[in-house]
Chains A and B, each alone.
Chain A
Amino acid sequence: MEASQFLAFLPETVLILGALALFVVSLGDSGILYARPVSLVTAVASILAAAVSSGQDAVLFDGAFRADGFSQWLKVVMLVGYGLVLLLSGGLDDVRHEIHAEYHLFLAASVLGLCLLVSAVELITLLVCLELASFPLYLLVPMRREQSAQKSQMESAMKYMMFGIAANGVMLFGMSYLFGLTGTTSLPAMMPKLAPQLGSPLAIAGLLLTFAGLYYKLAIFPFHFWAPDVYQGAANETAGLIASLPKIGAVAVLVRFSSLAGPDSGGIAGVLAVLAVLSMFYGNLIALVQTDLKRLLGFSGIAHAGYALLGFVAADEPGYTASLFYITSYVLMVLACFVVICRVSPDGTNLSIRGLAGLHRRSPLLAVTLVVGVFALAGLPPFAGFMGKLALLKSALARGYLWLVLLAVLNSAIAIYYYLGVVRSACFGEAGENQSPIRLDIGTRILCVLLLVGILGLGVAPAAFLDTISSSVARLLPNGTRPAMAEQVHPVPAPAVVLR
C-alpha cells in the first residue's frame, strides 16, 4: 500500500483500531470506566484523520472502495456527528452498566460502516457496508435497561431488525436486476452500460428496488413503519443516533446511485415525487397528535425525509447538493432536540411533550437549544433548516415541479403547529412539581453550543459548505459539471455591477 492510499484509508483505520481497543476493554470488568474515554479518543483521532485525508483521491481494494472529494467531506461530517453523538450519550444512564463497553464498540462499528459506505463503489461492498452500519444498531436498541414502565425495547428491536432485513432483501433483489442488465457490480463500470437502457422498465424497477434499502434507513413512506416505534423503544441516546447519522449515509449513497440514472429519468422522478408527498403528509399529519416527544420526532423525521427527496426528484447537481445540505442540517437540528430529551428526561425514561414544561426555568441553555432546534426543523430563518428548504424548493421548482413545491410548503405550514406545541410547553408552560434546575456537565454544554453554532452558521453563512458539496457532487455526475440552474432556465446577462 502506498503512502497516499494509506492516507485515503486513514479514517477507517483509526476507527478499526478504536473498535479493537473497545473490544479489548469489553473483555475486562472495567468497561464502564474506560469505554467512554476510549470512544472519545477514537472520535477525536478519527476526525483528525478524516481532516488529514480530506484531499485524497484514491481507489483501493480492486476498485471496491473509492476515496474522492465526495466521500471525504462526508466522512468528516459523519465523524463530527460521531463525536456529537458521544457527547450526547454522556453517562448512558439508560443502558445496562455492565455492557457499556459493548455499546461503545457497536457504536464505533456502526460509524465505521457508514464511513465505508460513502466510499463504496461496488454493489456487494456497498451492501456489506450497509449491513455493517445496520447490525450494530439492531443490537443497540435492546440494550436499554429494563424497567417496569418500559418493556418495549425488545419489540422495537425485533421490528427494526425485521424491517431492516426485509428492506435489504428487496435491495439485493434490485441489485440483481442491475447486475443482470449490465453484467457488472462496479458502479463506475455500470454507469455507461446502464445509461442506454434507462428507459426500460427493468432498469427503473432495478433502481427503485435498490433504493428501497436506503429509503428504509431514511424512513421514507412506505418503509417508515419502524421509525416511531424504534425511537420510542430505544434508549434516548440510541434513538438520537438512529435518527441522525445513518440518514446522512443513506442520502450519500442515494446520490451516488441516482447520479447513475442521470437527470432525465422521468419514471423514477415521478415515483420519487409521489413518495416524497406521501412521506411529508403521513409524517406531518400523524405528528400532529403525538404526545411523546420521541415519537413526534420519529414522525417528523419521516416528513423531513420526504423533503430531502425533493432534491432527488430534481435529480441534478443543485438538487443533490440541496438534499445533502438539508440532511446534514437535519442531523444537527435533530441532535439539538435529542440532547434536550436525554438531559431533561428523568432517569432515562421517555419524555412527553408536557414533560418539557418549565424548561426555561430549569435550564435556559437547554431551552434555547430546543427552541433553536425546533424552529430550525420548522424551517424558520435564520436557521439551517430554512436554507436547506430554500435550496430544495428552488431546485425542484427549477425543474418545473410546482405542484410538489406547493405541497411541500403546505406541509411546512402544517408542521409549524406541532413544533409550536413543543415550544409552547418548553417556554410558556408552567409545571407544578419537579422544577429543580437541571445541572449540565461540561460535555453537554459544549455539545449545546456546538449545535447552536452549527445550526446558526449553516443558516446564515453556508456559502463555503454549499460550495464544497456542490463541487463534490458535480464531479460525481456523469456529464461533468452541469451549468447552474439559472443559466439553464433563462440566460442571464452578465451583471452590470461588479460585486465586491
Chain B
Amino acid sequence: MPPLTPTGGPPWLTLLIFAPLAAALVASMLRGERALRVWTLLFTLIEAVASLGLLWVFDPGTARFQLVERWRWIPALNLEYALGVDGVSVLLILLTTLVMPLCVLASWTYIQTRVREFLICLLLMETAMIGVFCALDFVLFFVFWEAMLIPMALLIGVWGGARRVYAALKFFIYTMAGSVLLLVAIIALYLETGSFNIPDMMGRPYSPTFQLWVFGAFFVSFAIKVPMFPFHTWLPAAHVEAPTAGSVILASILLKMGTYGFLRFCLPITPYATKVFAPWILGLSVVAILYGGFTALAQTDLKKLVAYSSVGHMGFATLGIFSLTRAGLEGATLVMINHGVTTGALFISVGIIYERLHSRDLGASAGLGKQMPVFAALLGLFCLSSLAFPGTNSFIGEFLVLAGGFQVSTGMVICAVPGVVLAAAYMLRMLQRFAYGGTDNPDHSKIPDLGIREIVALAPLACLVLWIGLHPQPVVHLMESSVANILQQATGPAGTVALVSH
C-alpha cells in the first residue's frame, strides 16, 4: 500500500465517531424520559444524514483510503490516531448510522426501565462501531473493537429477557477470549513492521510460518464475531435474550465486524495463509449454511429462528470472501449489507410481535396476519428478502457469492445450494403460520396493526430491500475498486513474493 497521507480538510471521520459520545454526555444531563428519547432519535437521525455526506466526498474510483486523518497518539508506544475509509467501510458506516435511529424507534415503548442508561449505551455503541470501521491504526482498531463489549453486554444483561445474565456473560467471554490472541498477533505484526499502521502492514513479505500463526489468531477472533460454525454458540443465546435494539445492532453491525476483519486484515496482510486455509474455511462456511438452515427450520421461537438464519447467511458471506474471486468478494460485501438490512428488519418485526403478544412463540403468533395486514405485507417482503427471492436485495448478494464459489469449487457450491432451499423453507413456514396459520389461537382481534412509529422504523429497510434488489449498481459501484484492490492484495504478486523469499 502507498503510505497513508492525511487528506487535510475538516476531520469528518473524527466528528462522525465522537459526535455520539458527545450526545451521550448531553443525554446524561437531560431530564425526562420523553426528552431523552426525542433527543437520541433526533441526534441519530442527524448523524445518519451527516454520514450520507460521506458519499459526497468519497471518490469510489480509487481503492486508496480516503478522508485520512493521522495524528500522533502515544509516541512512547508508537501508536497513532489514524483514520480512513475505503468503499467497504463507507458502506458499513452508512449501515450503522442508518440502523441506529431505527433502534431508538424500535425501543420507544419496549424499553421502560432505566431509559437514560439504555440510550447512553446505544450511543456509546455507535461511537465504537463507527470507530471500528474507520480505524487504520491496529491498536486504535482494537480499542474500538473491545470498547463495544461493555455497552453491548450491558444491553443484553440489563434490558434482556429471562436468561439475560447468562447470555451477556457468554457473549462477553467468547468475544474477549477470541480477542486476546488478536492482541498478540497485533504486537507480533508490529515487531515485524515497526508500525501499528494497518496499510503499512499490508503486502509485506512475511515468512509463511509467521503468516500462518498470525492468520490463526485473526481467524479465531473474527470467526467468533461472525460467528462461523463451531464458534456460533453464543449467538442464539445473545440474540434471544437481547432487547430488540440489541438484537438489531448485534445482527446488523456486530456480526459484520467479523467479515470486515477478514476483508481488512486476513486477505491483505496474510495472503499466503489465506490461500492455505481458504479451502477449510469454505468447508466451514458450507457447514454453517446447512447447519443454520436446518436448525432454523426446527425452531419455534421466532428470535431463535432469525438468529440461526443469521448463522446461515453469514456462511454465505465467508463463502464469498474465501472463494477469493471478484464475484465472491463483491457478493460477500453485498451479503453483509443485505443481511444487515433484512435481519435488522426481521428482528424489529419480531420485537413488534413480542410487544403485542408478550411471546415470541411461532404458534402463538399464528393467524396474527389477519389482524395486521400492513405488518403482514412488510414481514412478507422481509421474509422473501431473507430467502433471497429474485428482486430483493439478498438475491443479488447470494447469487454473486455462488457464482464466485463456482469458479473455485463446484462441489462446495452444490453442497451449499440446499441452504438456499432451506432458507425458503423456514422463512415461508414462518410467514405461512403468521399470515394464514391456525384458527385455534386465542382471540387476536384486539391486536392493533402497526402504528406510525413502527411503520417509520421498518419503511427505510423495506425501501432498501427493494432498491438494492432492483438496482444494486450504486452499492456495487461504491465498493468495486476497494474490493478489487483487496482481492489483488490477496492473490496478486505480493503473495508470491512471500513464497519466494523464504
Chain A residues within CB distance 8 Å of chain B: 321, 371, 375, 378, 380-382, 386-387, 390-391, 393-394, 397-398, 402, 405-406, 409-410, 412-413, 416-417, 420, 424, 427-428, 461-463, 466-467, 470, 484-487, 489-490, 492, 495-497, 499-500
The listed residue with most A CB atoms (<10 A of its CB), out of B3, B142, B165, is B165
Q: Does B158 lie within 8 Å of A462, measured CB to CB?
A: no
Q: Does B146 lie within 8 Å of A386, measured CB to CB?
A: yes
Closest 7 CB pairs of A and B: A492-B194, A466-B76, A381-B143, A409-B180, A486-B194, A496-B3, A428-B165
- Answer yes or no: B396 CB below 8 A from chain A CBs: no
Q: Does A409 lie within 8 Å of B150, measured CB to CB?
A: no
Q: Does A390 lie within 8 Å of B139, measured CB to CB?
A: yes
Shortest CB distance B76–A (Å)? 4
Residue in contact with B80 in the complex, picked from A380, A489, A499, CB distance below 8 Å: A499
Q: Does B157 lie within 8 Å of A394, measured CB to CB?
A: no
CA distance A380 to B180 in the complex (A): 10
Q: Does B183 lie within 8 Å of A497, measured CB to CB?
A: no
Q: Which residues of B contact A394 (CB under 8 A)?
A: 77, 187, 190-191
Given A382-B147, A499-B71, verify A393-B176 contact (CB < 8 Å).
no
8 Å CB contacts to A: which residues of B60-83? 70-78, 80
Given A381-B143, A428-B165, verify A463-B180 contact (CB < 8 Å).
no
Q: Which residues of A contact B191 (CB under 8 A)?
A: 394, 397-398, 485-486, 489-490
Residue in contact with A497 in the complex, picked from B70, B173, B192, CB distance below 8 Å: B70
Given A427-B158, A492-B195, verify A470-B176 contact (CB < 8 Å).
no
Q: Does B77 lie within 8 Å of A390, measured CB to CB?
A: yes
Q: Does B72 lie within 8 Å of A499, measured CB to CB?
A: yes
Q: Which residues of B contact A380 (CB under 8 A)?
A: 146-147, 149-150, 176
CA distance A463 to B72 in the complex (A): 9
Given A321-B76, A467-B76, A500-B70, verify A393-B187 contact (CB < 8 Å).
yes
Nearest B residue to A459, CB-CB: B143
Q: Does A497 lie within 8 Å of B6, measured CB to CB?
A: yes
CA distance A461 to B180 in the complex (A): 22
CA distance A141 to B142 in the complex (A): 42
Shortest CB distance B140–A (Å)? 9
Q: Does B75 lie within 8 Å of A467, measured CB to CB?
A: yes
Cross-chain pairs A/B with CB under 8 angstroms, 22 sampled:
A371-B150, A380-B176, A381-B143, A390-B77, A390-B183, A390-B187, A391-B76, A393-B183, A394-B77, A394-B187, A397-B188, A405-B187, A409-B183, A410-B180, A412-B180, A424-B157, A427-B158, A428-B168, A463-B74, A486-B78, A492-B195, A497-B4
Given A416-B173, A462-B74, verify A381-B184 contact (CB < 8 Å).
no
Number of B residues, CB within 8 Å of A: 44
Interface secondary structure of B, over-half rule:
helix
Given A394-B77, A397-B191, A428-B164, verify A382-B180 contact (CB < 8 Å).
no
Q: Which residues of A contact B143 (CB under 8 A)?
A: 381-382, 386
CA distance A462 to B79 in the complex (A): 11
Q: Does A490 lie within 8 Å of B150, measured CB to CB?
A: no
- Answer yes or no: B106 CB below 8 A from chain A CBs: no
Q: Does A497 lie within 8 Å of B154, measured CB to CB?
A: no
Q: Which residues of A contact B165 (CB under 8 A)?
A: 424, 428
CA distance A487 to B190 in the complex (A): 12
Nearest B residue to A491, CB-CB: B194
Q: Which residues of B contact A424 (CB under 8 A)?
A: 157, 165, 169
Q: Which residues of B contact A416 (CB under 8 A)?
A: 172-173, 176-177
Residue in contact with A500 in the complex, picked from B6, B76, B183, B190, CB distance below 8 Å: B6
CA distance A412 to B139 in the complex (A): 17
Shortest CB distance A95–B (Å)? 36
Shortest CB distance A214–B (Å)? 25
Residue in contact with A397 in the complex, picked from B5, B184, B195, CB distance below 8 Å: B184
CA distance A391 to B139 in the complex (A): 11
Q: Mark B45-59, 1 if CB is under 8 A from A, else 0.
A: 000000000000000
CA distance A486 to B77 in the complex (A): 10
CA distance A163 to B165 in the complex (A): 41
CA distance A492 to B184 in the complex (A): 21
Residue in contact with B157 in the complex, picked from A390, A391, A428, A462, CB distance below 8 Å: A428
- Answer yes or no: B193 CB below 8 A from chain A CBs: yes
Given A381-B147, A466-B77, verify A500-B71 contact (CB < 8 Å).
yes
- Answer yes or no: B181 CB below 8 A from chain A CBs: yes
Given A390-B139, A416-B173, verify A499-B180 contact (CB < 8 Å).
no
CA distance A393 to B192 in the complex (A): 15
Nearest A residue to B173, CB-CB: A416
Nearest B residue to A492, CB-CB: B194
Q: Does A413 lie within 8 Å of B176, measured CB to CB?
A: yes
Nearest B residue to A378, CB-CB: B176
Nearest A residue to B72, CB-CB: A499
Q: Which residues of A contact B158 (CB under 8 A)?
A: 427-428
8 Å CB contacts to A: which residues of B123-161? 139, 142-143, 146-147, 149-150, 154, 157-158
